[in-house]
Amino acid sequence: VCESMEEKRPKREKVVVVPRSAADEQRFKIERMMAEPERPVVIPEPRKPRAPRPPPEFNFDVMGSSAGAGSGEFHIYRGIRRREQNRLKWIDTQAAQDEKDEDFRHRLENKKREDDEKTAKKRAKRLKKKDKMKAVKKLKHTENDQENQSEVNRDEERSSNEEQEEET
Q: Given a cut of 80, is residue 124 above it in pLDDT?
A: yes
- pLDDT value for 76: 79
Distance from chain centroid for Cα 95:
24
pLDDT of 127-143, one tens digit each? 999 999 999 988 888 88
Give residue 100's pLDDT band: very low, low, confident or very high (50, 70, 90).
very high
Q: Cβ distance 30 to 41 under 8 Å?
A: no
For range 89-105, the mean pLDDT: 95
Residue type, 111: K
Mean pLDDT of 14-23: 85
- Against a cut of 0.85, is the pTM above it? no
CB 74 within 8 A of CB 65: yes
With beta carbons less than 8 A apart as the criterion, state whether 61 and 53 touch: no
Residue 21 C-alpha from the chain's centroid: 32
How far is 113 from 83, CA to CA, in rounded Å?
45
Checking if the pLDDT of 25 tops 80, the result is yes
Least Cα distance to 83 among 48, 47, 59 occurs for 59
Model confidence at 3: pLDDT above 70: no
